[in-house]
Chains A and B, each alone.
Chain A
Amino acid sequence: MTDQAVEPEVGRARLRKEDARLITGQSNWTDNISVTGLLHLAFLRSPMAHARIERLDVSPALERPGVIAAFTGRDLADGLGSLPCAWPVTEDMVLPDHPPLALDEVRHAGDPVAVVVARDRYAAADALEAIEVDYEPLPPVLDLEEALAEGAPLVHADKGTNRAYVWPLRTGEDYESVRQRADVVVRRRYLQQRLIPNAMEPRAVAVAPLAASGEYTMYSTTQIPHILRIMLSVVTGVPEHKLRVIAPDVGGGFGSKLQVYGEEAVALAVARKLGRPVKWTESRSEGYLATHHGRGMIQDIELAATREGRLLGLKVDLLADMGAYLMLVTPGIPILGAFMYPAIYKMDAYEFNCTGVFTTRTPTDAYRGAGRPEATYAIERAMDELAAEVGLDPVEVRRRNWIRHEEFPYTTIAGLTYDSGNYEAATDKALALFGYDDLRAEQRERDERGDAVRLGIGVSTYTEMCGLAPSRVLRDLRYSAGGWEAASIRMLPTGKVEVVTGTSPHGQGHVTSWSQIASDVLGVPFEDIEVLHGDTQAAPQGMDTYGSRSLVVGGSAVHRAAEKVVEKARKVAAHLLEASEDDLEFKGGVFSVKGSPEARRTIQEVAFETFTSHDVPDGMEPTLNAEHLNDPENFSYPHGTHLCAVEVDTETGQTRIRSYVCVDDVGRVINPMIVEGQVHGGLAQGIAQALYEEAVYDAEGNLVSGTMADYLVPSAADLPEFVTDRTETPAASNPLGVKGVGEAGTIASTPAVVNAVVDALRPLGVHDVRMPCTPERVWEAVRSAQAGQKKEASA
């Protein structure tokens, strides 16, 4: 028996177990699924933003070659209910029906009205054009403020209003009286443009029925196989225990696959009706209409402060674009943001108000950060405006207001208790890496000589609430489910290990990181561990992957389950070694008796002994398995400081990112390589919102940026090299000390970049540029500021 000196895995940049099949083309995407007799679905979608369906006849499609069936919503209505919304944020929230296939009215361009079932995808697509529909156009509802006006056309006429809900929060002192005693009041309006998530893998779903026994296996490009199973069973009436949902390899999600989609429900209903396997894969352009969007808000933010730049109060008024329907967590997205507007700052009063508004556009829902990027953007932009107003450096104004490291744990004005953090340390490190003072000096020098290409410096000191979520908090927020996560661990007779997780990775590398966590606790080599996930049969319990929760909640569950395995193994080892449990040491996978190191058993030996069960303690079950369901006691609060330098050409409006530095504190790090990768990707998406991306609609409600050729997902050539670093303040609320990293980069980077753009132009009289800061918008901002200054001068 050799010594098992297992080096600690946590903290190592382990190369990923996931990669081998992905780089050799052996991955298992949903669209790859093929079974004998597979039929293909195609959806006919509304070409209009809002219309009444006067007539709908699918029968001509049946004449087309290769077409097996075609259905309207009415044909499937028996056993196809309304799509779910799991987050009724207020008691009186307006919750319209959301039929998976529109019945009488279409409410956004892309709303599906019929489905064709054919032998192959080409035949299905061809047959769509044979379907006859007469639409009676209705007025589109696009402007959030006009939608709330008296007499506005209604998205859901039966509801009598476009107002989905009003959600207020008032904490601390009365804001109005705090405002009275303020020296400075900064009031700004920011527009959060709609974004299209653009996971690289388009959505797809395949359903294979075992008609005789009424069992169904669904493969879906989903982040949430477990939630999907429960919800689809409610929507379709297929009993939960007869439905198995598999998320095979999933090609990115960013929130867009955190959904219960109509196509999934229809695929299940059609498979049930025909008793045959079916598959649907969206085209990218179809996805732009049919996959939920993100952001879409008007933010009115007001800061009340002293002339020294000390915050007294904060008031936020949101109009949030719900789109045409309330999908899985649509109404809750801006509410997640509600707690994040106060960010890392101390103040005496906070007033928040959010109005959810229906429009005739694709529904919005979670997109990377989900409410928190919007909040962070508004507060971090406004802090820069405050700095300008009181004549302070933007970093200094933050220092004067943030929670100091010795003040943790700190309960914020919004009621969250931040367990740990060190904003000073992260900021100091970032400033040094960035060369802040030198860049400011260069900026002054170039400003003085009137350089037409202006240097701008932007900062953002963010925090976020991650690790969703303590179940009781979710109850208080009226969310319909809990926020726990499950893990189970099986020691196999040969000493290998299966870790079963309820998280559902789609690029995050859980298989690798969870192996590292389990390896350290069990003392079993990394290579001997397999992680099972994303299949409700293999991993029956879970709350899935979103909201930077997987490591914090699910990774901690793996850690705890592994501890339970060791606890049980200790009993067996003590029995085998004829020692008391208290006399056993466990290190590197070996139990040994204190003081007599030759008396030892490896955990693998214990696993085998437990399997044979020839000599285990009386009454012990013959398994070395354990499970743990972890309900977190608090959120986690990653934070960091991001700095961006831009070169803005005032003659062309072109913005170029010259350098980008971020120092993130995501707590203890399991795998630094994976963490860095998550930060890079997050930055890219946040920068994309700042500079490139926007879902644009015309006055009739057509999506103008309706293909990947019209919507600017940045390429390698559009993005800079990032300098990333970390500080490490362990989270106090979980055994691993981890905080989550999936959304940090996206949350922090958008305001850092726009702050930099505005900083470059501020001496010209510019105090805002609407996102995305395209050359046209930058040029226009410069031009109108100059025109304004001329006017002032001549007046």
Chain B
Amino acid sequence: MTHISVTVDGTAYEDDVEPRLLLVHYLRDRLGLTGTPIGCDTSNCGACTVELDGASVKSCTVLAVQADGCEVTTVQGLARDGEWTPLQRAFHERHALQCGYCTPGMIMAARDLLRENPRPSSDEVRKALEGNLCRCTGYQNIVRAVLAVAEETSASERQSAQGQSAQEVTA
């Protein structure tokens, strides 16, 4: 057994775990955070994608001991006081989920994409989400949802930039 300290969705945990325990099983079976599902055993599907210190990882290919000292964010840690993130809202509004099994991983992977490339093209979204499989949607509405968030974000940035330059002029 190895001792680990991990912060998951803002809560600090101390645990003794088997060195072979997968992070996703630690989240699901030990912490009861079942919002992160498991879709395969070859790290192809991406359903279990979470953030580890700010970068997306497939939690079935990370050992719990590798998360020692790290901050983990799961889909369950996204909404604040019941307020959904823009991606969660967009997935809902664009019908980017049907059965919803891939959705947690898809949202986490899309967050990663938008951090790295805030204005992706449709092709870039498709390539970036290549590691996350969905069997229900044919991906079209997932791509639409991600593009909608990129669009919203850049529109609001433009607005605030305009506001700023107006301030500069008056100042």
B-contacting residues of A (Cβ < 8 Å)?
15-16, 18-20, 22-27, 29, 31-32, 34, 120-122, 198-202, 249-252, 254, 281, 283-285, 506-509, 673-674, 676-678, 680-685, 707-709, 713, 715-717, 719, 721-722, 745
State whether B92 touches A23 (Cβ < 8 A).
Answer: yes
A708 and B92 in contact (CB under 8 A), knowing A23-B84, A713-B135?
no
State whether A717 touches B130 (Cβ < 8 A).
Answer: yes
A674 and B95 in contact (CB under 8 A), knowing A284-B42, A284-B45, A713-B133?
yes
Q: Map CB proximity to A onto B64-86 as digits: 1 under 8 Å, 0 otherwise.
A: 00000000001110110000100
> With the chains together, A249 CA to B130 CA distance in Å?
25
A-contacting residues of B (Cβ < 8 Å)?
18, 20-21, 25, 28-29, 32-42, 44-45, 47, 74-76, 78-79, 84, 88, 91-93, 95, 97-104, 107, 122, 125-127, 129-143
Shortest Cβ gap from A482 to chain B (Å): 27
A122 proximity list for chain B (CB < 8 A): 18, 20-21, 25
Q: Which 3 residue pairs across A and B have the least CB separation, nearest first?
A: A25-B35, A22-B100, A251-B101
List, sorted by A's number, 15 A–B pairs whose CB atoms are closer than 8 Å: A23-B84, A23-B92, A23-B100, A23-B107, A25-B75, A31-B37, A251-B99, A283-B40, A284-B39, A677-B95, A680-B141, A681-B137, A713-B45, A715-B130, A722-B140
A285 proximity list for chain B (CB < 8 A): 40-42
Shortest Cβ gap from B95 to chain A (Å): 5
State whether B42 touches A26 (Cβ < 8 A).
Answer: no
Report whether over half of chain B's contact residues are helix, strand or loop; otherwise say mixed.
loop
Residue in B closest to A683 when the chains form the complex, CB atoms = B138
8 Å CB contact of A252 from B104, B107, B136, B140: B136
The total number of A-B Cβ pairs within 8 Å is 187
State whether A202 touches B39 (Cβ < 8 A).
Answer: yes
Shortest Cβ gap from A157 to chain B (Å): 35
A22 proximity list for chain B (CB < 8 A): 97, 99-100, 103
Shortest Cβ gap from A452 to chain B (Å): 23
A16 proximity list for chain B (CB < 8 A): 92, 95
Shortest Cβ gap from A715 to chain B (Å): 5
B135 proximity list for chain A (CB < 8 A): 198-200, 252, 254, 681, 684-685, 713
A32 and B34 in contact (CB under 8 A), knowing A200-B134, A254-B135, A715-B133?
yes
A24 and B100 in contact (CB under 8 A), knowing A19-B92, A199-B135, A285-B41?
no
State whether B36 touches A25 (Cβ < 8 A).
Answer: yes
Shortest Cβ gap from B11 to chain A (Å): 14
A684 and B139 in contact (CB under 8 A), knowing A15-B93, A23-B84, A285-B42?
yes
A719 and B139 in contact (CB under 8 A), knowing A22-B103, A120-B29, A708-B42?
yes
Q: Apart from A29-B34, A252-B98, what 14 extra A-B contacts exist at CB < 8 Å?
A: A25-B33, A25-B34, A122-B25, A200-B101, A200-B135, A201-B39, A201-B101, A202-B39, A506-B99, A681-B135, A715-B139, A717-B130, A721-B122, A745-B138
8 Å CB contact of B100 from A27, A674, A707, A709: A27
8 Å CB contact of B40 from A25, A284, A680: A284
A198 proximity list for chain B (CB < 8 A): 135
State whether B95 touches A673 (Cβ < 8 A).
Answer: yes
8 Å CB contact of B98 from A202, A284, A681, A717: A681
8 Å CB contact of A719 from B34, B45, B125, B138: B138
State whether B100 touches A509 (Cβ < 8 A).
Answer: no
Residue of B36, B98, B102, B140 ringed by the most chain A CB atoms within 10 A: B98
8 Å CB contact of A18 from B28, B37, B100: B100
State whether A677 touches B141 (Cβ < 8 A).
Answer: yes
A716 proximity list for chain B (CB < 8 A): 125-127, 129-130, 132, 134, 139, 142-143
A251 and B37 in contact (CB under 8 A), knowing A19-B100, A23-B100, A681-B135?
yes
State whether A509 touches B98 (Cβ < 8 A).
Answer: yes
Residue in A closest to B36 when the chains form the complex, CB atoms = A25
8 Å CB contact of A721 from B35, B132, B140: B140
A249 proximity list for chain B (CB < 8 A): 99-100
A201 and B99 in contact (CB under 8 A), knowing A24-B75, A27-B35, A716-B125?
yes
State whether B95 touches A24 (Cβ < 8 A).
Answer: no
Residue in A closest to B127 when the chains form the complex, CB atoms = A717
A719 proximity list for chain B (CB < 8 A): 126, 138-140
B139 proximity list for chain A (CB < 8 A): 680, 684, 715-716, 719
8 Å CB contact of B133 from A120, A200, A745: A200
State whether A15 touches B92 (Cβ < 8 A).
Answer: yes
State whether B102 touches A200 (Cβ < 8 A).
Answer: yes
A252 and B84 in contact (CB under 8 A), knowing A26-B35, A709-B42?
no
> With the chains together, A722 CA to B144 CA distance in Å?
12
B75 proximity list for chain A (CB < 8 A): 23-25
Shortest Cβ gap from A119 to chain B (Å): 11
> With the chains together, A333 CA to B134 CA distance in Å?
25
Residue in A closest to B90 when the chains form the complex, CB atoms = A23
> With the chains together, A475 CA to B40 CA distance in Å?
40
8 Å CB contact of A19 from B20, B25, B97: B97
State whether B76 touches A24 (Cβ < 8 A).
Answer: yes
State whether A681 touches B32 (Cβ < 8 A).
Answer: no
Residue of B36, B92, B125 ringed by the most chain A CB atoms within 10 A: B92
Shortest Cβ gap from B92 to chain A (Å): 5
> With the chains together, A685 CA to B95 CA distance in Å?
18
Residue of B34, B79, B122 ringed by the most chain A CB atoms within 10 A: B34
> With the chains together, A439 CA to B140 CA distance in Å?
24
A202 and B88 in contact (CB under 8 A), knowing A19-B97, A252-B98, A508-B98?
no
Shortest Cβ gap from B43 to chain A (Å): 8
Shortest Cβ gap from A101 to chain B (Å): 23
A199 proximity list for chain B (CB < 8 A): 99, 101, 135
8 Å CB contact of B39 from A200, A250, A507, A707: A200
> With the chains together, A650 CA to B122 CA distance in Å?
27
Residue in B closest to A29 when the chains form the complex, CB atoms = B37
A25 proximity list for chain B (CB < 8 A): 33-36, 74-76, 104
8 Å CB contact of B138 from A26, A281, A681: A681
> With the chains together, A506 CA to B37 CA distance in Å?
16
8 Å CB contact of A200 from B78, B79, B136: B136
> With the chains together, A678 CA to B138 CA distance in Å?
9
Residue of A15, A120, A284, A685 ringed by the most chain B CB atoms within 10 A: A284
B99 proximity list for chain A (CB < 8 A): 22, 199-201, 249-252, 506-507
Residue in A closest to B46 when the chains form the complex, CB atoms = A715
> With the chains together, A24 CA to B75 CA distance in Å?
6
Residue of A19, A121, A678, A709 ringed by the most chain B CB atoms within 10 A: A19
> With the chains together, A379 CA to B13 CA distance in Å?
61
> With the chains together, A722 CA to B142 CA distance in Å?
13
Residue in B closest to A199 when the chains form the complex, CB atoms = B135
> With the chains together, A571 CA to B155 CA distance in Å?
56
Shortest Cβ gap from B85 to chain A (Å): 9
